[in-house]
Homo-oligomer: A and B are copies of this chain.
Amino acid sequence: MDNENLQESSNKGFSEPAVRRLPVYHHYLVKVHEAGGIFISSTQIAADLNLVQVQVRKDLEFTGLEGKPKIGYEVTALLKAIEVFLGWDKINPAILAGAGHLGNALLGYQGFKEYGLNIVAAFDSDFVKIGKLIHGKPVYSIDFMEKYIQEHNTEIGILTAPAQYAQDLADKMINAGIKAIWNFAPARITADKPDIIIQHESLASSFAVLSKKINSNINK
């Protein structure tokens, strides 16, 4: 997951590999801040995160903030700059379709709060789940999803349904007004409207790479 194609990313005006690293800096800076740190140097950040200093400076430049000579970065200012750059300073409400094992895990994932992601409701077709709360989030009937999206102007949809329902649910989300889909279903989905963001996430695909690497190591 570390070697994204820079070409595609630069078309969108940012470096995807750098964007992927920013949460690591953010997480680290929160700890530094909690420990009472006011300023931090790129040397220190590099040492603590096992990175080279030049890389740290280059990554953090994307946020528009520069470190001061001999002083470094002001921790709170740098945290704020990362949050603004990533859009984490806004609250991004999202709905989730498919309250199975993975959906359950995402509904309970504490880290999302830090990133400004708020899953406001889940949708499922299982009558045992409908009407219940999972990690404090309401589960509604999947038939109610489009109406909910329209009424709440929700723009982010998280797809954790089985593969065979993925495209149909994605179509419904997009028609109702969803602008970005984070797809955890083990199926490729496409959008027939322009400017819809689709991001595929697959544990199976990640494990396939790991498994193939392990297998290649053993066989050599």
Residues of A within 8 A of B (CB): 1-5, 8-9, 12-14, 16, 19-24, 26-28, 31, 49-51, 85-88, 90, 92, 101-102, 104-105, 108-112, 114-117, 155-156, 163-164, 167, 179-180, 182, 186-190, 195, 197, 199-217
Contacts and interface: CB of A to CB of B under 8 A. Distances in A.
A1 B199 contact: yes
A88 B199 contact: no
A21 B205 contact: yes
Contact of A197 (B114, B156, B208, B213): B213
Q: For the complex formed by this chain, how many copies does it contain in all?
A: 2
29 contacts: A3-B5, A3-B9, A5-B5, A12-B216, A13-B216, A14-B212, A14-B216, A21-B205, A23-B204, A24-B205, A26-B204, A27-B187, A28-B163, A49-B187, A50-B167, A51-B188, A86-B212, A87-B212, A87-B214, A88-B211, A90-B215, A101-B109, A102-B105, A111-B186, A111-B204, A156-B210, A179-B214, A195-B217, A199-B213
B105 A186 contact: no
B115 A108 contact: no
B105 A202 contact: no
A215 B167 CA distance: 24
A36 to B, nearest CB: 16
Contact of A4 (B3, B22, B108, B212): B3
B50 A188 contact: yes
5 smallest A-B Cβ distances: which pairs?
A105-B105, A3-B5, A87-B215, A23-B204, A20-B205
B179 A24 contact: no
Contacts of A51: 188
A107 B134 CA distance: 18
Task: Identify which of A1, A9, A31 gathers the most chain B CB atoms within 10 Å of its CB.
Answer: A1
A180 B88 CA distance: 33
A19 B51 CA distance: 28
